[in-house]
Each structure stands twice: as structure tokens, then as C-alpha cells.
């Protein structure tokens, strides 16, 4: 067995191990998951898909930052990282309060009005983008996980493969969330269920905001 063959097999094995970690990270509930679920419940499959597109775009941007070394600079620059952190806290609080207010105010008519006047594709994508890009944990995950799997002399291509894998796997899981929400349309059509989704998502978003605010940098 040649050295190159052994190295190739090790690389494949390492990548498969990383893929397993990426899947576990994707299915772990986070702001992106809950926000996509609510977007799909409120605006249907179209809004959910555009929200997912915005999140994927933000993930790719963060992956690019890690690959080019910008991520490391941000993570080690306290003022920059703190700014991102508190912008993220503020945005999660906004999302949480908005969802809770919606849970308290919405009636059957309110949901019907929302469906008649859907959020535009651009706005849904923008909301998804902001939900992800203002969460510094995404950047921290990339910076913490990638060095555990890539070689010390890894090139741009290898780093990009691993970083983009996280983005793609996460987006595939969000697509499953969108389509599941569409499949259970009859259940979702119940106003009480929708208010429950809003209230739960709002509480979770505020919980994430509190955890992020209290977390040491």
C-alpha cells in the first residue's frame, strides 16, 4: 500500500467523521431552525425556502471568512467580536419579542391576512441572512471544529470543502424543516397551533439571546 493511498483513505475517513459531526450540529436546535420553522408556518413553503436561502448565504459568507483568515481576526479582536455578539443578542431579542407579540395578537383572521399579504422573497431571505450572520457562534463553530479535522498544512481548497460542508448540511436540514411544515399543513392551519409555534419560538429566541448575552467571550 503506497503512502498516497494511505493518505487518501485517511482523508476520506476524516471527512466522513467530520460529516457526522456536521449532521449532529445541523439537527441540534438553534436560532436558524426555529426561525425557519416559524417562517414556514407563517408564510408557507415559499417563505421558508427563501429564509433558508438567506441562511445558506450567511453560512457561506461565514465559511469564506474562516477560509480567508478573516474569521480568526474577528474572533481574536475583542471590539469586533463583541460588536457582532451584541448585534446578535439584539436581533434575537427582536425576533423573540415579535414572535411572542404575534402569539398574543393573532387570530384565524390574522393568519389569513398574513397569507394574503406574504412577506416578499427578498425580505424573507434578508431575515434569514440576518438571523445567521449576527450569531457569532456560527463563526466560533467553524473556528473550533475545522482545526480538529484539517491537516496543519491544509490549503484553501481543503478548508473550503470542510467549511462549505457545514453550510450545505445545515441548509439540507432546514429544507427538511420547511417541507415538513408544508406536509402538516392541516395541523398548522389551526390558529391555536400557530399561536403555540409563535409563543414557543419567541421563548426559545429570547433564551438564545440570554445565553449569548451571559456567555463569556
pLDDT in tens, the chain (217 residues): 454 554 444 477 878 888 887 887 787 677 898 889 888 877 888 899 999 999 999 999 988 888 887 667 666 777 876 776 787 678 778 878 877 887 777 644 444 444 545 678 899 999 999 989 988 777 777 776 676 676 656 677 777 888 888 899 999 999 999 998 877 766 665 667 767 777 877 787 788 778 767 765 4
Quick one: pLDDT at residue 91? 74
Please state, in angstroms and as integers, the Cα–Cα distance from residue 11 to each residue in 15, 64, 166, 193, following that order: 6, 22, 17, 47
Reduced to 3 states (helix: H, G, I; strand: E, B; else coil), residue 159 is: helix
Residue spans of the domains in the chain: they are 3-214
Give the DSSP per-residue string, 96-111: HHHHHHHHHH--HHHH
User: Computed from CA positions of residues 115, 121, 123, 128, in that sequence, does the dihedral angle turn out positive or negative?
Assistant: positive
Cβ–Cβ under 8 Å, residues 59 and 163: no
Amino acid at each position: 500500500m503506497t503512502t498516497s493511498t494511505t493518505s487518501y483513505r485517511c482523508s476520506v475517513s476524516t471527512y466522513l467523521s467530520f460529516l457526522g459531526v456536521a449532521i449532529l450540529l445541523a439537527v441540534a436546535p438553534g436560532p436558524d431552525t426555529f426561525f425557519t420553522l416559524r417562517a414556514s408556518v407563517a408564510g408557507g413553503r415559499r417563505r421558508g425556502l427563501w429564509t433558508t436561502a438567506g441562511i445558506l448565504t450567511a453560512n457561506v459568507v461565514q465559511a469564506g471568512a474562516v477560509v480567508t483568515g478573516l474569521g480568526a481576526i474577528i474572533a481574536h479582536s475583542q471590539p469586533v467580536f463583541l460588536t457582532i455578539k451584541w448585534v446578535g443578542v439584539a436581533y434575537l431579542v427582536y425576533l423573540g419579542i415579535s414572535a411572542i407579540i404575534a402569539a398574543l395578537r393573532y387570530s384565524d383572521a390574522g393568519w389569513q391576512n398574513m397569507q394574503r399579504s406574504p412577506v416578499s422573497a427578498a425580505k424573507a431571505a434578508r431575515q434569514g441572512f440576518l438571523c445567521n450572520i449576527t450569531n457569532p457562534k456560527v463563526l466560533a463553530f467553524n473556528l473550533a471544529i475545522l482545526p480538529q479535522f484539517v491537516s496543519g498544512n491544509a490549503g484553501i481548497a481543503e478548508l473550503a470543502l470542510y467549511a462549505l460542508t457545514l453550510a450545505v448540511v445545515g441548509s439540507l436540514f432546514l429544507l427538511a424543516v420547511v417541507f415538513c411544515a408544508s406536509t402538516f399543513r392541516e395541523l398548522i392551519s389551526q390558529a391555536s397551533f400557530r399561536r403555540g409555534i409563535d409563543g414557543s419560538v419567541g421563548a426559545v429566541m429570547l433564551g438564545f439571546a440570554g445565553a449569548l448575552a451571559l456567555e463569556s467571550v
